[in-house]
Amino acid sequence: MATKKASASETESISSASRSTPEPVATKKPAAKSAERVTAVEMGARQREISVSEFFTKNRHLLGFDNPRKALLTCVKEAVDNALDACEEAGILPDVTVRLEVVSNGQPVAASQANRFRVTVTDNGPGIVRQQIPRIFAKLLYGSKFHRLRMSRGQQGIGISAAGMYGQLTTGKPVKIISRIGPKAAAHFFEVQIDTKKNEPLVHENKQIDWEQPRGTQVTLEVEGKYQKGRASVDEWLEQTSIANPHVKLIYHTPEGETKEYARTYHELPPQPREIKPHPYGIEFGMLLKMLQDTKSHTVAGFLESDFCRVSAQIAEDICKAAKVSPDAKPRELKGPVAETLYKTLQETKLMAPPTNCISPIGEKAILSGLYKQIKGEFYTAVSRPPAVYRGNPFIIEAGLAYGNRPQDQNKPQQPTMPKAEGEGEEEDSELARVIRYANRVPLLYQQSACSTFKAVLSTTWKNYGLTQSRGALPGGPMVIFVHMASVWVPFTSESKEAIADYDEIQKEITLALRECGRRLGLFVRRRERAASEFRRRNIFELYIEEVVEACNRLKGGKLPKEKLKAQLQKIASARTGGQKTDHALGKTGAGPEGLPHSIIVTAEGIEGETAVASQVEADQAGTAPRATSDAPGETTPIEKPASKAPVVKARHPEKSPRKAAAKSEQTTLFGGKSGSKMKTAKPGKSTAPRKQK
């Protein structure tokens, strides 16, 4: 019974866990009359408080530690989320290093066989003050994020300490932390464990050490886990993280000794999300009661005005009048039916939607940049929806698409000119699209089918956009669908944050975003098909003419003037296919990459579209010649003198004061040096028009 209680009111009991006293025996129900009677007193003797830590030790699956493979991912995820949240809040462009090492006793074990790992996550964030370190890492539900409505990756303050507890449970090893708050301060080394009974930290080791990093935090966990690549792996998670967070430089040392580097392709921090007060529509009755108790205001009207957003003094008075509550009544004295009337009135009063500038979306350009960097395709597009509200919580939906095979890749498998045997080359078309989901920039890897985003993808009619789709299935084709929900409070279906709950408002926004992406893709696909089919037509005839002429020649006993027949047939062929028109079918004239905003198109000849994004990635990746940025990108730019440009774009990005930049506008985009300075003069704000407009 007690256990049930703790789980049901997880959030509530948590904040009061350390202070609450055992419940009085008298409140318990009398023991049921049965053969073996146990008195209430006896039962009472057995009833005692359960600490959150104990609860989660038993119920670790609630936090994502159900199996060794997932547990390893959860550890990495919690540590990286914390690192990124800290860096961003402090206004630092995050550099994060993740290192997974196999821990073996004695003989070296292959990574895929090992069952014990050391996870080390290092960031260049603000560091943590010495006094707080033990509690942050070894006390559940301790943190800065729960008590405010602000968009962040973490929400409850369970994650990293739960990971530590999991390590402690499976390997007995403490969590090791190094943290330094600045070059002048000393670095502190801690080894902490959690006292699961009291939910209090136990400090094993605490000393000052030398650390090569001037600032930042490093967490080392030793945990039982299983490393396996593929779906829902650490590798996939980090890759997806880098797609949605192109402002992060991520270095990943795999347990197999490889080093993967995810470069920073977007050199500006996302704008700081702002903290907001709850909106009356978003609270429940119990929450209102609690707020009434906790408020600092002395009058109900003052409480309404100061503790909620979108409630002005005038509105507060109107609400009081409507609820028949004296505006000057003391909030703490509102109870029972009166409070209930107030709650109902609050829900019925017409209020403005909550402010939405508290959310920081990734932004269309950054999504493009991330997708382009990580996914090979020929068409990319991204859409950020305007903010919307569900249950009083503002949110923004963003969607993106990466479609097709990059031209280089298309050529590759065809290079070996082996004639195809019967049955070969028929398997390819079965590929289905992949959905990558994010909540507040964190990839969601599990429970795809329970997720609102996934449902929205399924319910979108992709056939309208030139794709195949069987009933109730994902669309077919080489495609990655990106969906991101940013909100002050993302409604997850469970504590382990794996799927977004299915609110109508959310579903609608996702669908709208996907449709816009789909429309652009449809235009692209159709144009490609038209051009390709014309091309194919001519190609077909040219290919077959040779065959037909040869066969006719043999039929006629080899006495045919072959060249003459061939020329005649070729003349008919080109007269019958659109002639020069085919070249124009690609729609190379006009604005934008084929007139599609916020899109990148990769062709054999080069990259069109948000070329700044593209060129920079190219430069970062391999030092290949970047297409020139700015006004006339794309087709005509010569690749003559890239050598001087490339390093500029790549090497030192002007480290502007991120705060200042962030304050400027939510959608300003700065890509590397050159285009950056250009954009500064441009008007900040939504850049819906394609940049290539002439």
Minimum CB distance to another protein smaller for 24 or for 419:
419
298 touches another protein (CB under 8 A): no
Compute CA 474 distance to the chain's CA centroid, rounded to the nearest angstrom.
20
Q: What binding mask, one character per residue, do residues 620-659 give for another protein by CB under 8 A, x or -?
A: ----------------------------------------
Total chain residues near another protein (CB under 8 A): 31
Minimum CB distance to another protein smaller for 560 or for 591:
560
At its nearest, how many Å lie between another protein and the CB of residue 429?
15
| Beta bridge partners of residue 149, listed in sequence order | 276
| Beta bridge partners of residue 35, listed in sequence order | none
576 touches another protein (CB under 8 A): yes
Those residues whose C-beta lies under 8 Å from the C-beta of residue 391, and which sit 6 or more positions away, are: 281, 282, 491, 503
558 touches another protein (CB under 8 A): no
541 touches another protein (CB under 8 A): yes
Among 263, 532, 573, 585, binds another protein (CB under 8 A): 573
Minimum CB distance to another protein smaller for 405 or for 665:
405
- Only one of the segments 47-55, 466-474, 508-516, 546-554 lies at the binding site for another protein (rule: CB under 8 A); that segment is 546-554
Minimum CB distance to another protein smaller for 37 or for 420:
420
Minimum CB distance to another protein smaller for 338 or for 573:
573
Q: What binding mask, one character per residue, do residues 487-526 give for another protein by CB under 8 A, x or -?
A: ----------------------------------------
Alpha-carbon gap, residue 55 to 165, rounded angstroms: 12
For the chain, helix, strand, coil in percent to 5 are 40, 15, 40
Classified as helix, coil or strand, 54 is helix
At its nearest, how many Å lie between another protein and the CB of residue 530?
13
At its nearest, how many Å lie between another protein and the CB of residue 579?
14
**Are 234 and 227 spatial neighbours (Cβ–Cβ below 8 Å)?**
yes
Q: Give the helix/strand (H/E) hosting 220.
A: strand 216-224
Considering only residues 363-422, where is the footprint of another protein by CB under 8 A? 414, 417, 419-420, 422
| HEC-encoded secondary structure of 598-636 | CEEEEECCEEEECHHHHHHHHHHHHCCCCCCCCCCCCCC
Among 556, 584, 641, 686, binds another protein (CB under 8 A): 556
Alpha-carbon gap, residue 36 to 44, rounded angstroms: 16
Q: Give the helix/strand (H/E) hosting 458.
A: helix 452-459
Those residues whose C-beta lies under 8 Å from the C-beta of residue 561, and which sit 6 or more positions away, are: none
Among 548, 585, 586, 591, binds another protein (CB under 8 A): 548
| Beta bridge partners of residue 492, listed in sequence order | 500
Q: Is 595 exposed, middle or buried (0-12, 13-18, 19+ CB in 10 A)?
A: middle
- Only one of the segments 337-345, 519-527, 549-557, 599-607 lies at the binding site for another protein (rule: CB under 8 A); that segment is 549-557
At its nearest, how many Å lie between another protein and the CB of residue 430?
18
Alpha-carbon gap, residue 372 to 382, rounded angstroms: 11
16 touches another protein (CB under 8 A): no
Residue numbers of the site for another protein (CB under 8 A)? 414, 417, 419-420, 422-423, 533, 536-537, 540-541, 543-544, 546-548, 551-556, 560, 565, 568-569, 571-573, 575-576
